[in-house]
Amino acid sequence: MRSEWKQARLGAIAALNQENYSKKDGWKHVNYLDTGNITRGTIDEIVYIDLEKERLPSRARRKVFRNDIVYSTVRPNQEHYGIIKNPVPNMLVSTGFVTISANEEIDPFYLYYFLSQPHITGYLHALAEQRVSTYPAINVSDISDLIVSVPPLMTQKAISDTLSCLDSKIELNNKINENLEALAQAIFKSWFVDFEPFRDGEFIETEHGWIPTGWEITRLGKISQITSGKRPPSKVDLSTYQSNVPIVGASKIMGYTSEALYDEKILVIGRVGTHGVVQRFSSPCWPSDNTLIIKSDFYEFTYQSLRRIDYGFLNRGSTQPLITQTDLKNHIVVLPPLDVLTNFEVLISPLMNALHDNLHQNQILAALRDTLLPKLMSGEIEVPVD
């Protein structure tokens, strides 16, 4: 740490759990964020609650303000935290969060990045695991007692600006991808659900509704090959030089191994456990034994078809959700003629290729951010204050 930097107890430079909601506030609605709905700064869902029609969840209590940091104290898994840059009106977060409001001595984004360092999140996670409890948790005092490295304020802002620049680009790419995904879905619905480009032609009636003449009702297995994943030969949590092939679980990458089960364009969904997440891969990977793998010459049509399935209806598990190969192969699809399928693939592929490029760029940006983070926070790398 540089000589001009000082150290301070977090509780001395920030207020924790500053203000709670009360009925006296007179709010007619609440926007509520629960602990599971934010992951490393990315918010998945904020739930709107009409207080005139619905009861407020008992855990919806903590008020958040602009640039407040929220960190999960309940079942911390080193991921459920973030900074609320622009809170929506009447926003509350769960009492499973500690809210951290930086004072004038500390840049809130610098403090956020300090708390996001792996050795800090790992330390807090380890504290929770050491405690004998049904639900491992950390105390507010655990965060309040953390010792923070505090450089001069201008240096703090230079560090946080450098890291925020990377995160802002990742966030922008994610928004672009949401738009690309929405556009592809809208085109699929227009063509293959509402039949908008084909309404001037003739239609025939089937047991599944009216479809254009020359189209057919068939099963997903006719246009795709569906198999189950396998248990990987080895597994490590983090990618290494020897083990850098992602192990694909039902909804995300679960680790890494040294061999690839597939090195081609495939789609992966959950067989056991989580259902409804459709993952795309075109590079070496190893889908685990709780997944189903789908290959098709009509990759984009199959991908969009998979996204529209009601997986709850397909589930045949009593204690644990389960989907079989046969269930998926027998799923009904409306199949257009080959020329329509080909035209759809040609139209949609560039959109999804752009989406894939953005995801790849985000991986590079996140790796750069994670590499710079500890070096900037320790003063090993100095950023120009100008």
Cβ atoms of 361 and 353 within 8 Å: the answer is no
Residue 383 and residue 367 share a domain = yes
- Residue 131's pLDDT is 72
Q: Which domain holds residue 366?
A: 152-189+338-386
Q: Report the distance separating Cα 381 and Cα 383, nearest Å.
A: 7
Q: Is the pTM of this model over 0.75?
A: yes
Residue 222 and residue 105 share a domain = no
Residue 65 and residue 169 share a domain = no
- Residue 222's pLDDT is 94
Residue 347 resides in a domain: yes
Residue 194 resides in a domain: no
Residue 353 resides in a domain: yes
264: CATH: 3.90.220.20
Burial class, 226, CB count within 10 angstroms (exposed 0-12 / middle 13-18 / buried 19+):
buried
- Residues 6 or more apart from 205 whose CB is under 8 A from it? none
Residue 325 and residue 362 share a domain = no
Residue 33 resides in a domain: yes
- Residue 4's pLDDT is 83
Residue 41 and residue 137 share a domain = yes
Residue 308 and residue 346 share a domain = no
Q: How many domains is the chain built from? A: 3
- Residue 318's pLDDT is 60
Residue 210 resides in a domain: no
Alpha-carbon Rg for the chain, nearest whole angstrom, is 25
- Residue 214's pLDDT is 95
Residue 274 and residue 284 share a domain = yes
Residue 281 resides in a domain: yes
Residue 302 and residue 255 share a domain = yes
Taking Cα atoms as reference points, which of 130, 132, 198 lies closest to residue 339?
198
Query: Of 98, 122, 150, which residue constitutes the final position of a domain?
Result: 150
Beta pairing partners, 335: 216
177: CATH: 1.10.287
HSE-CB at 319 with a 13 A cutoff on CA atoms is: 0
Residue 126 and residue 20 share a domain = yes
Residue 223 and residue 104 share a domain = no
Query: Of 97, 126, 150, which residue constitutes the final position of a domain?
Result: 150
Residue 317 and residue 253 share a domain = yes
Residue 136 and residue 48 share a domain = yes
| Residuewise pLDDT in 10s, the chain (386 residues) | 577 899 999 999 999 999 999 989 999 999 999 998 998 888 888 999 999 999 999 999 999 999 999 999 986 556 889 999 999 999 999 999 999 999 999 999 999 999 999 899 989 988 887 876 667 788 899 999 999 999 999 999 999 999 999 999 999 999 999 999 999 999 999 999 999 999 999 999 999 999 999 999 999 999 999 999 999 999 998 788 899 999 999 988 999 999 999 999 999 999 987 788 999 999 999 999 999 999 999 999 999 999 999 888 877 766 677 888 998 999 999 999 999 999 999 999 999 999 999 999 999 999 999 999 999 999 898 887 76
Residue 206 resides in a domain: no
Residue 264 resides in a domain: yes
Structure tokens that stand for 181 in this block: 């995904």
Which runs of E-coded beta strand occur in 111-215? 147-150, 203-206, 209-212
Which runs of E-coded beta strand occur in 117-265? 147-150, 203-206, 209-212, 216-219, 225-228, 245-248, 253-257
Taking Cα atoms as reference points, which of 21, 366, 385, 308 lies closest to residue 163?
366
Report how far apart, in Å, the C-alpha atoms of 81 and of each of 98, 190, 310, 322, 385 are: 10, 39, 31, 31, 28
Structure tokens that stand for 195 in this block: 């039949």
